[in-house]
């Protein structure tokens, strides 16, 4: 196994900060906007971004929820292992809001397709945007593009991009993992 660290430490933090500033450019004080993290790994990104935004915009409410997409995936009954659901926690109304969906890695785009279906079960947002911490370029299976991107990565299908978080894994880090064959 070969690991290549793409981003960590202070640079990781600067990237999160930049994404927050870009969000504020388009969403001002977030009064009509909400953040939704995609289960299982996108919720850490969403939590971190929401936390940073609260620091930058004190006194403003930043709504942030978790969205599980298991029941909307297109590979149910097409894989060997069982797909088990996670919790969905959206304690606010998305009808008429600007929704920013967040996931750690954007790869084939299939997760985002499922997430849009899952989210629309909660209402009709005014607008939906996508923020991805890592964009694995040129590997899309569906016509999906992110509005905000942390870093862009060129990778091949056998490689994996793993994002670790301080809160759960002890360290902020983005690693490109290649199987040595």
Residues near other proteins (CB under 8 A) = 68, 70-72, 76-88, 117, 120-123
Tell me how many helices (H) and strands (E) the chain has.
4, 8
Q: Minimum distance from CB of 102 to other proteins (Å)?
A: 21
Tell me how far, at minimum, the Cβ of 55 lies from other proteins, in Å.
31
* Residues shown for the chain: 181
Q: State the minimum distance, in angstroms, from the CB of residue 69 to other proteins.
A: 10
Count the neighbouring beta carbons within 10 Å of the beta carbon of residue 93.
Answer: 12
| Secondary structure string (H, E, C) spanning 118-159 | HHHCCCCCCEEEEEEEEEECCCCCCCCCCCEEEEEECCCCCC
> Would you say 84 or 156 has its CB closer to other proteins?
84
Kindly tell me which of 62 and 118 has the beta carbon lying closer to other proteins: 118
Q: How far is CA 164 from CA 5, 61, 62, 148, 175, in A?
A: 11, 27, 23, 19, 8
Of 86 and 178, the one with the shorter C-beta distance to other proteins is: 86
Min CB(62)–other proteins separation in Å: 23
Separation of alpha carbons 81 and 94, rounded Å: 33
Smallest gap from residue 95 Cβ to other proteins (A) = 9
Q: Select 4 or 83, whichever has its Cβ closest to other proteins.
A: 83
Strand 160-164 to strand 173-178: parallel, antiparallel, or no bridges (unpaired)? antiparallel
Distances (CA, A) of 181 to 156, 161, 176: 14, 18, 16
Shorter beta-carbon distance to other proteins: residue 57 or 90 = 90
């Amino acid at each position: 196994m070969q690991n290549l660290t793409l981003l960590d430490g202070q640079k990781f933090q600067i990237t999160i900060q930049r994404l927050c500033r870009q969000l504020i450019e388009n969403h001002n004080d977030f009064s009509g906007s909400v953040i939704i993290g995609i289960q299982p790994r996108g919720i850490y990104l969403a939590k971190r971004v929401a936390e940073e935004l609260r620091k930058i915009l004190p006194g403003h409410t930043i709504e942030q929820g978790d969205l599980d997409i298991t029941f909307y995936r297109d590979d149910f009954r097409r894989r060997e292992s069982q797909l088990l659901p996670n919790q969905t926690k959206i304690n606010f109304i998305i009808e008429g809001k600007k929704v920013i969906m967040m996931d750690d890695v954007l790869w084939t785009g299939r997760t985002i397709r499922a997430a849009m279906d899952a989210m629309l079960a909660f209402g009709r947002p005014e607008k939906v945007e996508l923020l991805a911490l890592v964009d694995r370029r040129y590997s899309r299976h569906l016509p999906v593009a992110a509005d905000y991107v942390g870093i862009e990565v060129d990778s091949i299908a056998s490689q994996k991009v793993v994002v670790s978080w301080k809160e759960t894994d002890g360290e902020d880090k983005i690693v490109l993992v290649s199987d040595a064959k």
